[in-house]
Amino acid sequence: MRIPIFFITMLLSILVMPLAAEDIYVSPEGSEEADGSITRPYKLEEAQLAARSFLGKEEVHILLMDGIYYLDKTLEFSDDDGGTREYPVYYHALNEGQAIISGGKPLDVEWEAYQDGIYVCRVPNDLYYDQLFINDQRREMARFPNSKEGKNVFDCWTLSHSAEPDPENDPLSQDRISSWEDPSGAYLHAMHRALWGGMHYQVNGKTADGDLDLEGGWQNNRPDRMHQTYRFIEHVFEELDAPGEWYHDRDGSLLYYYPQAGQDLDQALGILQSMQDELEIGKIDYTRRCAAISIYGPHFSERPAIAGTVFEAASEAGVEILLIATSFSTVTFLTTSRQADQATARLNENFLVP
């Protein structure tokens, strides 16, 4: 009778939960003479420090009040922030979905008309920016080919396994490359030749032969050539030709933006997302002498519950699972070497192994 035992276990778990808990309130701006109360909340960094005084003594709930929390620097977590198994530390939004931690920077700039409907402003020169939001809407980098509504491959093509080359929209054609003065700092994105995922490259400039000098393409675990059709480039100044696109001149610390029709930039709220880590883990634990145990069966894709059976069996045997990986035909988990025989024996009890 597993069900009654399950409910009794749940009830006992609830009864033995720690009763003492410390609530610490946070707001984007904080308050003068902050003490972590709901009327005098801390800033996020202040709350993190305050929580450390309760480490191992009380359960702590850090409650983020509504608003956007712009981070001036990376928010780092270390052993001092995790609490203990008995007294953990939790970070919550006070109202679900209403507290946002952002690595972006609000724009406080003066826009000036540049040419052909494009505007320009000066931005801080200490970071590279890879995303721009205008009134909470993410805008595209200047790209080629331009995006089109209703297309499901890079917002430009409709997927077909027999797609023919599209020379007019090929960012790798030398005619197109020759129209760019300096494409360094651009990004090239391409589908795998067999459509097994995508590959991404940073453009370092042009080669002596007039091709792009590319770095990257290793993101796919089955490396191969690019797809002959499905590829596009972004962050090229000369391709700033469609409303909603932007380009960041990193050397000149200038931001170019092509506003959409009727958009008043003086009334728009712009946010630049910089290429930095908003959150950082201060410590990584590693375990020596591990064993990877895999079960393979070509029928697994038709029986998705098998993965659950594997991990349930290991858990019931008291085997520590360090890592999990699954695919259509394989279930793999990582455990310590000393528990490898124990795990294998338990799996043999649950599966018919030839």
Please report, for the domain that includes residue 301, its CATH number. Answer: 3.30.2130.10
Q: Are residues 208 and 81 in the same domain?
A: no
Q: Same structural domain for residues 134 and 246?
A: yes
Query: Are residues 309 and 272 part of one domain?
Result: no
> Which one-letter amino acid corresponds to residue 177?
I
Would you state the pLDDT for residue 112?
94
List the beta bridge partners of residue 119: 113, 257
How much is the pLDDT for 32? Answer: 84
Question: Both 86 and 115 in a single domain?
Answer: no
Judge whether 284 lies within some domain. no
* Mean pLDDT, range 3-19, rounded to an integer: 35
Phi, psi of 300 (to 5 degrees): -60, -35
Q: Are residues 266 and 146 in the same domain?
A: yes
Q: Are residues 149 and 210 in the same domain?
A: yes
Q: Confirm whether pTM is higher than 0.75.
A: no
Of 279, 309, 324, the position where a domain reaches its end is: 279
Digit-coded pLDDT (tens) for 22-78: 999 999 999 889 999 999 999 999 999 999 999 889 999 999 999 999 887 788 888
Residue 265 pLDDT more than 80?
yes
Same domain for 237 and 197: yes
**Whether residue 219 sits in one domain with residue 87:** no
Tokens of 115: 């040419």
Question: Residue 316 belongs to what domain range?
Answer: 290-350
Q: Is residue 20 situated within a structural domain?
A: yes
- Cα dihedral 174, 176, 179, 182, rounded to 10, equals -80
Query: Nearest CA to 224 among 199, 242, 202, 248?
Result: 199
pLDDT given for residue 299 in this prediction:
63
The number of folded domains in the chain is 3
Identify whether the C-beta of residue 129 lies closer than 8 Å to the C-beta of residue 273.
yes
Residue 193 inside a domain? The answer is yes
Residues 195 and 223 in one domain: yes
pLDDT of residue 2: 36
In-domain check, residue 285? no
Cβ proximity of 231 and 188 under 8 Å: yes
């970071």: which residue's tokens?
Answer: 127
The residue behind tokens 């505007």 is 119
Same domain, 315 and 329: yes
Q: Are 234 and 297 in the same domain?
A: no
140 pLDDT band, cuts 50/70/90, is very high
140 shares a domain with 245: yes
